[in-house]
Amino acid sequence: MSPDKLIRMANQIATFFDTQPGDASQKIAAHLRDYWEPEMRARLSAHVAAGGEGLKPSVRAAAALI
């Protein structure tokens, strides 16, 4: 999976949870743990470690929780 697609998918998840009550980063992290393959989560974490370009702040915060 390309980094652009991973970023787009993570940001789409964030777009939904950012509009819901409660802590969006907790909900995003839970969604990623439940539905993303370990390799996808690892790629997301690596992208965040490299600066997280293109990711919404709530996705960056969620990546720190998984």
Query: What digits encode the pLDDT tens for the residues 33-65?
Result: 999 999 999 999 999 999 999 999 999 999 999
Distance, CA of 66 to CA of 64 (rounded, Å): 6
Structure tokens at 49: 């470690």
The pLDDT value recorded for residue 42 is 96
Residue 2 pLDDT more than 90? no
Query: What's the per-residue H, E or C state across the chain?
Result: CCHHHHHHHHHHHHHHHCCCCCCHHHHHHHHHHHHCCHHHHHHHHHHHHCCCCCCCHHHHHHHCCC
Say if residues 47 and 7 touch (Cβ distance below 8 Å): yes
